A and B are shown apart, each in its own frame.
Chain A
Amino acid sequence: MIINPDAGKDIRRLLSSASYSGNFTKIELGRRVTLGLDSAGVDEVLVMHDNGGLGEDVVASLEGKISSRLTLIPTRGTGTVLDTIEGASRMKDLGVKSLVVVGGDGTLRAAFKGASEVPLATVSAGTNNVTGAFYDASLVGYAAGLVTVGGVELGDAVRRVKLLEVFVDGEPRDVAVIDVAGIRIPYVGARAVFEVESIAFAVFSKGEPTDVGLASILGFLRPTGFDEDVGFLVEFGNGFSEVNALIMPGVFKRVGVRRVERLDVGSLVSIPPGTYTLALDGERELEVCSSDEVKVMLSRKGPLLINVPKVLRICAMNKNY
């Protein structure tokens, strides 16, 4: 388990009705995940030592009180996304069978970068939680525990979702699970995307009307699930359509759409040249200039996501609980 101490604490609290995702809450979520894993019969739970000490708190509070062995996994403690990538990578090397992240889409993406072959589940504690869903953390832990322990055929309850691979001048530079957006601001700054007017285009792998963030735009324009082998390039402006999207919690914005292009899995799309910051899963990450040739590929190489209700249902039907 990885708890991201920084998830759900950024500038969007000042610009929307987004809640502050506090440490106390995250520790309780972490405890519930651990108790769920324990209840499923997991032998050992590895918990990342994060810079905020949240994982350490979870371990200290449950050690010796549950059947599962609890082990803290150290990282360099940079206080950045690198901790999650490093922690996930170490856990993968130690042979974990599943990984639960307490955070938002950015945390899941970082965990995926460190452990792409490990099934992942998210406990929603970020601002945008497109990859997660609001189930009690105990049940997310329990589902991940059932995946870990095995013994029942889970079929597509654990399935690999789509991925957006970003290439700059032919070289792979980064990945996103949900969306890659070109923001007309030439620097990363506070990372979050909150000015609709600044978005030039976005490439989506997924977007449902129930999503928050940029995915909400696709959600109302062309609802697209993880299971569908398509994605979309959307250019913003006037002329084609307009949607009322939930850009941040409580902030609906009317967004003009100039052009929509359907993408099949395996296709590579060139993004309009210009000076942008590329936002990956809703956070400005990559600064590109007009001389850079940027392409995005839609693939099926994304995270192995644990579908929590499906896993629990299959196990219930098989009396595997």
Chain B
Amino acid sequence: MSILVPRDKLIEMYSIMVLIRAFEDRAHELFAAGKLPGFVHLYAGEEAVAVGVISNLVKGDYITSTHRGHGHCIAMGCDIKGMMAELYGKRTGICKGKGGSMHIADFEIGMLGANGIVGAGVPLAVGAALALKYRSPGNVAVAFFGDGAMNQGCVMEALNVATIWKLPIVFTVEDNQYAISMRSMAPTKLQPRVATARSFAERAVGFGITAVTVDGMDVLAVYEAAKAAIERARRGEGPSLLDCKTYRYYGHFEGDPMVYRSREEIEEWRKRDPIRLFKERLIRMGVATEHELEALREKALKEVEEAVSRAEEDPYPEPSEAYTDVFTDPYY
């Protein structure tokens, strides 16, 4: 397995990370200003996971996402303007304004959808992997899900069936330390005694899945581990699980008062901000100058601003379209 990442790829990864951050920071402001209907769950702080994993995917691969899905969408290449319009509920949104933040999807590029139900994307990814095994050997599916989902029954079933059928899938746990407001370790009991011994990878091992723990704040650590797991899947060696330790900067949802964690804790995690760590590394490696990287960040900010401006002006769907594109043809 060659892990030397070409310069262009490194720059692309950085560009996507700053675009995700710019999008999420702006969505934070827009929600506070009452511009976005419905719930919004932001991905800021977790960029290294989506980008580290998805940078290894190719055309024909699939992902499923979570209620915190903007980062996965952007890393998969979803149109930013269409995404912002979707958050606004506008007709020009990538789901015609009817999915919103929590059901955003773009099947054309392999993004099978965010999901409002915790853990519900995981069996969908298993289904996609089963289809790929027969229709497109060599392609893989990736299921992104959070630490809270690791206690959902459907996730256990998905892990089990993926092993039994030796499916080309990579389960990616984004352990952002909290299942809503509960410490991720609290409901994940492995021991009959104190019961704080947390390891999502360990659960996967119980299903016969090869699993590793990854520093989810280091995009290159995630990239390497994901590359190894995805290459295994492409070779037909079955499922793997990446247990990525990361942190979300904003609340579980916008408006969350976050009484369950301290400011000091957030600051401690921010010291290992994935974008800053990557930026420092790129400069040290001579891949880019600080000026060049700042220009990429400004480009991302501009792109998001343009998306906001357009979304503001775009029309809402007509009331007469309320039921179109909502139900699929049952005989399809």
Contact = CB atoms under 8 A, between A and B. Distances in A.
Nearest to B197: A23
Interface in A1-27: 5-6, 9-11, 13-15, 20, 22-24, 27
B214 interface: yes
B61 interface: no
A266 interface: no
Interface residues of A, number: 37
Contacts of B303: none
Interface in B260-317: 268, 281, 284-286
B285 A60 contact: no
Interface string A75-106: 01011000000000000000000000000000
Interface stretch (A170-178, A188-196, A254-262): A188-196
A53 B196 CA distance: 5
A187 interface: yes
A8 to B, nearest CB: 10
Given A13-B212, A20-B202, A23-B199, A289 B284 contact: yes
Interface in B185-202: 185, 190-191, 193-199, 201-202
Contacts of B151: none
Contacts of B285: 186-187, 275, 287, 289
Given A11-B228, A195-B2, A57 B245 contact: no
Interface in A160-204: 184-191, 194-195, 198
Contact of A185 (B4, B195, B196, B284): B4
B213 interface: yes
Contact of B220 (A184, A189, A198, A289): A189
A74 interface: no
Interface in A49-83: 52-54, 56-57, 60-61, 76, 78-79
Interface of B: 1-4, 185, 190-191, 193-199, 201-202, 205, 210-214, 218, 220-221, 223-225, 228-229, 232, 240, 243, 245, 268, 281, 284-286
Give the dominant DSSP class at A's interface.
Answer: loop
A22 B199 contact: yes
Interface of A: 5-6, 9-11, 13-15, 20, 22-24, 27, 52-54, 56-57, 60-61, 76, 78-79, 184-191, 194-195, 198, 275, 287, 289
Given A23-B199, A53-B198, A195 B3 contact: yes
Contacts of A187: 220, 281, 285
A79 B175 CA distance: 13
A61 B195 CA distance: 11
B198 A52 contact: yes
B201 A27 contact: no
A179 B186 CA distance: 39
Given A14-B228, A57-B191, 19 more contacts: A9-B199, A9-B201, A13-B211, A20-B211, A20-B212, A22-B199, A23-B197, A23-B202, A24-B191, A52-B196, A53-B185, A53-B198, A61-B193, A61-B194, A188-B218, A189-B223, A195-B1, A198-B4, A287-B285
A189 B3 CA distance: 9
Contact of A188 (B191, B194, B202, B220): B220
B234 to A, nearest CB: 13
